[in-house]
Copies of this chain bind each other. A is one copy, B any other.
Amino acid sequence: MELVLKHIEENKQNFLDELKEFIAIPSISTGEENKNEVARCANWVADHLKNIGMNNVKVFPTEGHPVVYGDWLGAPGKPTVLIYGHYDVQPVDPIDLWESPPFEATVRGDNLYARGAADDKGQVFIHFKAIEAYMKNTGSLPMNVKLMIEGEEEVGSRNLPKFLREHKDLLKADLIVVSDSSMFAKGVPSICYGLRGLSYMQIDLVGPKGDLHSGSFGGSVHNPIQALTEIVASLHDKNGKITIPGFYKDVLALTKKERDAFKKLPWNDKKYAKELGVKQLYGEKGFTTLERLWARPTLECNGIWGGFTGEGAKTVLPSKASAKISMRLVPHQKSAKIAKLFEKHIHKIAPKSVQVTVRNLHGGEAAITPIDSPGVKAAVAALEKGFNKKPLYQREGGSIPIVVDFKQILGLDTVLLGFGLPDENAHAPNEFINLDNFYGGMRTVAHLFNELPNYLKKK
């Protein structure tokens, strides 16, 4: 282990130079313009995997951009970790807001600025270098490692589920580790152990069969916009609770340990409200902001429209009104079941004076890898050693569909070991990775390979 950490310490500049090479390939996966660059980047990854001592390296073509695979399986009897990441990046517009060219990685202060620095080339590279540190100094890894680095994460991983289904054997492992997220704050190493799911619905109301003049007809029929506002407004009670019967039934309650863990995170409601520009926060009574964001289901109206929406005054009593409403779900709510409860409830409360259609547009399941699961325990131990600081626990309010696919298709839990920062500009100009996190990440991953066999039982 000492040699491994020494290798990381002594090669800091080399690693930066190599990462610059990786970043210099403009592997933007959106659109067709950069298709050749994305392919070139896949080959760069494959070559690099070979260089650091990985076996069975292969560039798998898909209907979109390729998936790069490599493994080192020289530790029989030890568990296997599958590391997932992506080599594709977001577009760079608006280009004129970048302080240095997006594909010329540039150090300013403690950060390295470039497109992909944090999302996700820099974080993928952390794993490469932890592996290299072992392979160069000991000729082996403390456990079996597989790598799957895809090229379509920024366009929704559209071909990955098929790839997972077709290569179940190749991808057999005991745990998945993903480094494609952020730590809670700078200097606050943290482990994200839960994600929310989603049910995304649309409600369409029809009142009178055509638009009417609000003077000649106002007062005789139920305005569908009014009916819609009555429906949407009724979905929360005065305590901010969602009123759909059965909605909370399957919610996994927060444990005391989790609530205590969240309280340890550096958080200030006033500062948060100020950053968002609101005078007052809002949400379900009885829960802190972080609990509401991460561990409680929520319902948001994502869009609403109906009638005249231009400048000025048009006296229309519209025929139609619509709303998009999504619910963020938590374990063990099921997206399809919640969608059905929603649909049933809307039909029940909709007045007879309008016709209502409810559609389920999109859904995804919540995910949790419990605090006391072996993977999370190993990651916590590794983080503490890598950053020399006790890590904290967090969840995330959004969804990462691929984590659900890993569970559903491969049957594997995922540990989200993120080394980014919340303000890293992941999809914006001036994306960066903090260098302390970059090197701390390498040490953490090196420790993780060492720790995981102590926690994970070989399947």
* Contact of A302 (CB < 8 Å), options: B214, B277, B355: B214
Query: With the chains together, A230 CA to B299 CA distance in Å?
Result: 14
* Contact of A352 (CB < 8 Å), options: B280, B283, B318, B324: B280
* Contact of A218 (CB < 8 Å), options: B208, B314, B328: B328
User: What number of A residues sit within 8 Å (CB to CB) of B?
Assistant: 78
The verdict on A357 contacting chain B, using a C-beta distance below 8 Å, is no
Query: With the chains together, A232 CA to B225 CA distance in Å?
Result: 9
Interface contact B276-A221, CB-CB below 8 Å: yes
Interface contact A304-B303, CB-CB below 8 Å: no
Interface of A, secondary structure class, is mixed
The verdict on A309 contacting chain B, using a C-beta distance below 8 Å, is yes
Interface contact B214-A278, CB-CB below 8 Å: no
* Contact of A301 (CB < 8 Å), options: B223, B280, B303, B324: B223
Query: With the chains together, A353 CA to B355 CA distance in Å?
Result: 32
Query: With the chains together, A289 CA to B293 CA distance in Å?
Result: 48
The verdict on A89 contacting chain B, using a C-beta distance below 8 Å, is no
A280 to B: closest C-beta gap in Å: 4
The verdict on A229 contacting chain B, using a C-beta distance below 8 Å, is yes
Query: With the chains together, A283 CA to B355 CA distance in Å?
Result: 17
Given A307-B324, A328-B214, check contact A222 B282 (CB 8 Å): yes
Interface contact B219-A353, CB-CB below 8 Å: no
Interface contact A321-B302, CB-CB below 8 Å: no
For residues 350 through 407 of chain A, which have their beta carbon under 8 Å from a beta carbon of chain B?
Answer: 351-355, 361-362, 396-399
Closest 4 pairs between A and B when the two form their complex, measured CB to CB: A215-B398, A209-B277, A222-B282, A303-B307
23 contacts between A and B (CB under 8 A): A200-B313, A208-B277, A209-B277, A210-B277, A215-B328, A215-B397, A216-B293, A216-B397, A219-B397, A225-B232, A225-B302, A226-B301, A228-B304, A232-B233, A278-B354, A300-B317, A302-B316, A303-B306, A303-B307, A303-B309, A303-B316, A304-B305, A315-B398
Known: A215-B398, A225-B323, A315-B326. 19 other contacts (CB 8 A): A198-B315, A208-B277, A212-B276, A214-B298, A218-B300, A220-B276, A220-B283, A221-B273, A221-B282, A279-B352, A280-B351, A300-B317, A302-B308, A304-B304, A304-B305, A305-B305, A307-B324, A312-B362, A315-B398
